[in-house]
Amino acid sequence: MSKYKWTREDWPIACAMIPFAPTLPDGSLVQDAPAEVWADALAQVAEEGFTELDPTDSWMRVADLEKSRLDEFKAVVKEAGLTIPAMSTSRKCVIDPETGDQMLAYCHRFLDTAADLGAKEVAFGFFGPFTEAQTKELWFWLAEGYKNPDDPDTWKLGVDRIRELADHAKEVGISIAMEMYEDTYIGTPESAVRFVTDVDRDNVGICADIGNLVRLHRPMPKWDVMLAEVAPFMKYWHIKNYIRDEDPATGTYMSAPVPIEFGIINYREAIRMALAEGFASPILLESYGGDGLSVCGKNLQTLRRILPRA
């Protein structure tokens, strides 16, 4: 019998829907499309070998579907042979000075929808919409993005609102993972640990998406140093990888997405580090650029090979 919650054969590894656009060629939203459009996307996910799905809300806001349409979505997920162990929000910042109240209400709906779909964990974050400069770059992380203010009152607001969501989440049997993302309160290991410690809820931890950090064109601690600090707090884990090069003589940096076995983060070792600290949550695979879905499928094969044996 394995000493872990799951083994390489049955560890829940979900595919993110970020390789799929939120709009159709005619400009209409996937949100409003017939269920057949959803079914086509999910069939492609299943064809890559996935049995789990995260209906990432950058693709479609399932939390905003009417009941009849949510029932259609459930049927499509079942028909594709998929389950939903966890769900992620993207750029839904509950402390945004303009839209924070709206985002907080959305996140409460998101929790109820996640529970309805059978998910046991969700990922929230404090990163906001793309800036205009980011939309013009080949890779959005090359331009300056949304930042959380260095302000004790806003920090406290964030703590209070995540506590509120955590208490709701506990009522419906869900844990929350706060996603690591640059220039937010979860933007460094030290700040992430401090934040979830301030929240002080046993169902709140860290989504250790250090891929978001190693891709940045700025000085960055080594991946294993960052992961070691947050590993005791890890919950739902977003996994992706990048090549990274640095030239200290000129201060230049380079990064680009790659399959997880080829990048700067050694996920064979990262998984061992996480498991040593008791990690026992679903995993999400993401990839940007090109055929991201095929890359996620390749990454699924890699994880099935390096997760613990039965």
The whole-model pTM stands at 0.96
Site of tokens 């970020």: 18
| 13-306 CATH pick, 3.20.20.150, 3.90.550.10, 3.30.70.1150, 3.20.20.70 | 3.20.20.150
pLDDT tens digits, 177-205: 999 999 999 999 999 999 999 999 999 99
* Amino acid identity, position 42: L
Residue stretches of the chain with pLDDT short of 50: 1
Q: Which two tokens stand for residue 17?
A: 């829907």
Q: Which residues pair with 23 in a beta bridge?
A: 29
End-to-end Cα separation, the chain, in angstroms = 7
pLDDT tens digits, 215-267: 999 999 999 999 999 999 999 999 999 999 999 899 999 999 999 999 999 99
CA–CA dist 80, 285 (Å, integer)? 18
Contact 157, 126 (CB under 8 A): no
**Domain ranges within the chain, ordered by starting residue:** 13-306
